Chains A and B, each alone.
Chain A
Amino acid sequence: MPNVTIHPTGEVIYLEPEETVLSGLYKAGYAYTIGCRRGGCAICKVDCRAGTFTYNRPIADTVITAEERTDGTCLSCRAVPDGDITIEMRDGNVRLVNPFLRQINDKARQRAEALARAQADMAGATTKE
């Protein structure tokens, strides 16, 4: 499932399926400047540097302009990654405020990666037979 990499620090955060970037970062113990968490105030924008995402709700044109829909602007409270993505914070850095949650997220990512490897191995074994 999607990993969000934060440029330039390189931290990797694991997201559950259908989870937004904002929700994933907060659940993993990170904090940054956010507002309404419902797509209205436009404060939580980040830049998407690699990968793609989809908005899980309609976004007002006053919040994301036509230009911002194609220039990598990512309204993080409504953006669900399509696969792995790399983002960069705009105003100030993301802060790790809860290392405990960070550890839990790391373990979840390792489990998901191990499961994906196991499934790939199984698929490989089936193909050989």
Chain B
Amino acid sequence: MGVMRLGYAHVRVTDMAEAKDHYANTMGLYETLSDVSPEGANRTFYKAWDEWDHHSVVLEEGGVGLVKYGWKVQYESDIDDIERKAQTFGVTVERMSKGENPEIGDGIRFTTPSDHVFEVYHDATLIGTEVGTHNPDAFPRHLVGVGVPALDHSLITAEDPGMMDRFLTEVFDFYATERVQTSLDDDADIIATWMTSNNQIHQLAVLAGPQGKLHHFAFRLGDWTEVGRAADLFSMDDVPIDVGPTRHGITRGQTVYFFDPSGNRNEVFAGGYLAYPDRPVSVWTPEKLGKGVFYHARELNDAFTSVLT
């Protein structure tokens, strides 16, 4: 089936101690490894409680913003398939070896037309979820903070979101679930696109903006109540809330946007309807963009399009 999910988000943080406090004690991620990169940067690897692979979030000390994303494919052969499709699209692809990323197998690496680094891999060290597989309980009893179950999706910016829509369609076999367009005309420009490979409402969204930037990466939650509780915890821990709790018109997801201690935007995201490739794409036009992004305020705040790392 090709790409199954966003396997890991690898981001830079200015201060590892503060970042660890946020991702471990506020978000409730489980640290699986702490090391020093070949370049000499401190790194910390995390998984969430309902994830089974070794890590889904990597923090690297020094700077802010995105280092790269890892995309996990179902079959080893999917790597060759994506390599071929990326080359056909005109992208230079390099091979990466097992161990270049701790606990991650062989794969490929390339820079997208949006100037983001993507890695594609099939093998990751299996740790298992915190509830196991044998008669598992509903959740771990001693979750910390928000206690997010999993990494969910990310939003990046690109000068040409239409190009990224084509790239993700042709190379990753993604399809768009929703788009923002300049108009309903066939030749309208794409301002933003929400894309996925399966029933998840979006795995990666791309918004018009500068190349190579991170808008946010999001963790999954179950429902409104959990989103509200997360916001309460952000107040307790002095986490700056950007927007919310509110709903997105686009995806119908319930959300809080907030910032980590280095200023990288995070999100907790619940809900969103089931996506299918044959479902007609929802199209939003600029006059209703505010409602599309923030369903209750119905206005885009200036931070949504300008605050990036």
Q: Count of chain A residues with Cβ under 8 Å from any Cβ of B? A: 16
- B64 & A62 in contact (Cβ 8 Å cutoff): yes
Cβ of A43: which chain B residues have Cβ within 8 Å of it?
A: 303, 306-307
Cβ of B143: which chain A residues have Cβ within 8 Å of it?
A: none
Q: Check B249 for interface membership: any CB of A closer than 8 A.
A: no
Q: Check A60 for interface membership: any CB of B closer than 8 A.
A: yes
Most buried by A among B15, B18, B307: B307
Q: Check A66 for interface membership: any CB of B closer than 8 A.
A: no
Q: How far is the CA of A43 from the CA of B63 in the complex (A)?
A: 16
Q: How far is the CA of A60 from the CA of B308 in the complex (A)?
A: 13
Contact status of A38 and B262, CB under 8 A, knowing A60-B14, A63-B64: yes
Q: Check B248 for interface membership: any CB of A closer than 8 A.
A: no
Chain A to chain B contacts (Cβ below 8 Å), 12 pairs: A37-B240, A38-B260, A39-B64, A40-B14, A40-B64, A40-B259, A40-B264, A41-B263, A43-B303, A43-B306, A60-B262, A61-B63
Q: Check B265 for interface membership: any CB of A closer than 8 A.
A: yes
Contact status of A40 and B240, CB under 8 A, knowing A60-B63, A61-B63, A63-B64: no
Mark A residues whose CB is within 8 Å of B. Answer: 33, 35-41, 43, 57-63
Q: Check B42 for interface membership: any CB of A closer than 8 A.
A: no
Q: How far is the CA of A43 from the CA of B304 in the complex (A)?
A: 12
Cβ of B261: which chain A residues have Cβ within 8 Å of it?
A: 38
Cβ of A61: which chain B residues have Cβ within 8 Å of it?
A: 63
Q: How far is the CA of A57 from the CA of B264 in the complex (A)?
A: 15
Cβ of B242: which chain A residues have Cβ within 8 Å of it?
A: 36
Contact status of A59 and B309, CB under 8 A, knowing A38-B262, A38-B263, A43-B303: no
Cβ of A63: which chain B residues have Cβ within 8 Å of it?
A: 64, 263
- B309 & A41 in contact (Cβ 8 Å cutoff): yes
List 7 additional contacts besides A57-B18, A58-B14; criterion CB under 8 Å: A33-B302, A36-B259, A37-B263, A57-B14, A60-B64, A62-B63, A63-B64
